[in-house]
Amino acid sequence: MEINSINAAVLAKMFLNGAKNLESKKEWINELNVFPVPDGDTGTNMSMTILAAAKEVSALEQPDMASIAKAMSSGSLRGARGNSGVILSQLFRGFAKVIGKEQEVTVPVLSHAVQKAVETAYKAVMKPKEGTILTVARGAADKAAQMAEETNDMVLFLDEVIKEAERVLKKTPDMLPVLKQAGVVDSGGQGLVVILQGAYDALLGKELDTASITASAGAGAAAKITKETEAEIKFGYCTEFIIVLDHPLLDHQERKYKSFLESIGDSIVVVADDEIVKTHVHTNDPGLAIQEALTHGSLSRIKIDNMREEHQERLIKDAQKVAAMQAAQADAAPQAQKEQEQKEIGFIAVSAGDGLSEVFRGLGADYMIEGGQTMNPSTEDILNAVEKVAADHVFVLPNNKNIILAANQAAELSEEKKVHVIPTKTIPQGITALINFIPEQTAEENEARMLEEIENVKTGQVTYAVRDTVIDEKEIRQDDYMGIGDKTILAVGKDLAQVTLAMAESMIDEDSAIVSIYYGEDVTEDDANAIAQKIQAVSDELEVEVQYGGQPIYYYLISVE
């Protein structure tokens, strides 16, 4: 089969199939999160981003290249969630700039569009990091430029580009040590490969059912449970294990091992070094994978999950997250409906937990966006919030490193108001930023002060592990408690109080003056006060405060200043 050009209708099918393929594999991509936390959401963020664009593409009655390009770009920009979603939206934005000017897409056009996509995405990230979705995209673009000189066949072109993307993806653990330690490839890069594979399948006439894509996009990509969705789980058991090798695998042995896994399943991730091989495969017969693995060495950390049983639970949980977020925003709507006098400076804060939201309101936040690590708000969510704040200058406190890019994107899209994004990576940084606001000073002066003060805040968060792994030489077992600092995991153990105290002690030094403890929805006030007493015992000069946060997933948020 040789295809030398594609029209608008075919391009739309390819885009929608890429979106559907990502949606069907988003949970697997979520599992590739480096830290074994219960809220890894790269797959969800990328899926909701592309589905926002897919909804607009699906609504086109007679699509041409210009209208498809506009729908892809506008939909993904406004629907972007999380860093991976924002980068994906920038890839689409650059891609759309090229194809929107064409009547049909040929290999040279597609190659140019891919180059522009990567160029646009790299410009959007201040400090691009290699070993991420950007690296995978650039590898694909480089291959596209090479193939454009060798063939006019779209099928051959895309096949080679995807193979190169997969090859670069496999190398991401060598570029980011944290990926190698965790035994995973980059989750954003994997999501991009899944989109490309779906688009390629559509070109070949192999399309997934995209009829429900509009409904999925409107409800958060996970709120619709159908028999068709269940049927998409072709292989029912998520199987993971580590092979402790008898001898290092030779290249041909590794290829043979992967080929075997491909013959019994899909969603395959194999990361090998001289001593171990981390394996992930979805299959209907985990025993076959285990038997083959045993020919290379002994096995450890075997984990087998029935995905068909878990699928309904996960869909319901995702739907509940979206419903809770929408309900919280609906509850917040009255604050925008009140008659407000236009003022110079207003504040928007992203918060997870009713206690934390009350803290922000008490410090003067005008509008709360319910969200955070478990559900990143989109660029459009932030834009809508900006419109509801009656101020000439609107400060946005993302309070999560995975929301900063979406906030920056909203600032660029805002036309009538000056939006200042204070890049707060944690809730305590956001609280510190608001505390340091001085009404008598200009927006620029306040922005400078906030940027300086948030650097003085150390944050620790306590949650639990969802899988076994090793990070920074700390061996972590499923269900262990973890104390996560600003840069790494500070404490691990079986006792929640001990882990929390160890984490806090590692954050405190001779310059520390204030320790603030925000306890979550699964912790009692008495337990939080007991932790506070032990922290107070570290030094009489410390001022230790305890406040109800009500945040899910994280038992404690602790800040040290």
- pLDDT tens per residue, range 455-466: 999 999 999 988
How many CB atoms are located within 10 Å of the residue 518 CB? Answer: 26
With pLDDT > 70 as the criterion, what percentage of the chain qualifies? 87
Q: How does pLDDT run across 529-554, given as a tens digit for each residue? A: 999 999 998 888 889 999 999 998 89
- Tell me the C-alpha distance between 249 and 350, whole Å: 48
- What pLDDT is recorded for position 334? 47
Model confidence at 41, pLDDT cuts 50, 70, 90, reads confident
Q: Is the pLDDT of residue 230 over 50?
A: no
| Strands lying side by side in the sheet with 237-245 | 265-272, 276-283, 237-245, 297-306
Cα–Cα distance list, 125 to 404, 406, 480 (Å): 11, 11, 34
- Best CA proximity match to 549, nearest among 390, 356, 365: 356
User: In the predicted model, is pLDDT for residue 359 greater than 90?
Assistant: yes
Q: Is the pLDDT of residue 17 over 80?
A: yes
Return d(Cα 267, Cα 253) in angstroms, integer.
Answer: 20
* Top-confidence residue, 40 or 115: 115
Confidence of residue 338 (pLDDT cuts 50, 70, 90): very low
Q: With 80 as the cut, is the pLDDT of residue 272 above it? A: no
- Residue 328's pLDDT band (boundaries 50, 70, 90)? low
| pLDDT band, very low/low/confident/very high, at 297 (cuts 50, 70, 90) | very high
The Cα 352–Cα 553 span in angstroms is 10
Structure-block tokens of residue 433? 């930023």
Q: Would you mind telling me the total number of residues written for the chain in this entry?
A: 561
Write the pLDDT tens digit of every residue in 139-173.
999 999 999 999 999 999 999 999 999 999 999 98
- Look at the block and give the residue holding tokens 């099918």: 13
Please, what is the angle between helix 8-30 and helix 187-203, to 10°? 150
Give pTM, 2 decimals: 0.73
Q: Which two tokens stand for residue 129?
A: 């990091």
Average pLDDT of the chain, as a whole number? 86
Cα 176 from chain centroid (whole Å): 17
* Residue 515 CB-half CA count within 13 A: 33
Please return the burial class of 495, using the count of CB atoms within 10 Å of its CB with bins 0-12, 13-18 and 19+.
exposed
Tell me: pLDDT of 195 over 60: yes
Q: CA 146 → CA 97, 163, 346, distances in Å?
A: 21, 13, 51
pLDDT score recorded for residue 218: 42
Residue 355: pLDDT band (50, 70, 90) is very high
Top pLDDT among 38 and 422 is at 422
Decide if 544 contacts 532 (C-beta within 8 A).
yes
Q: For 467-485, how does the pLDDT look when each residue is reduced to its tens digit (9 = 90+)?
A: 788 887 788 898 999 999 9
Residue 309: pLDDT over 80: no
In this structure, of 226-240, 337-351, 397-411, the range with the lowest mean pLDDT score is: 226-240
Binned at pLDDT 50, 70 and 90, residue 224 comes out as: very low
Q: How confident is the model at residue 370 (pLDDT cuts 50, 70, 90)?
A: confident
Average pLDDT over residues 329-355: 72
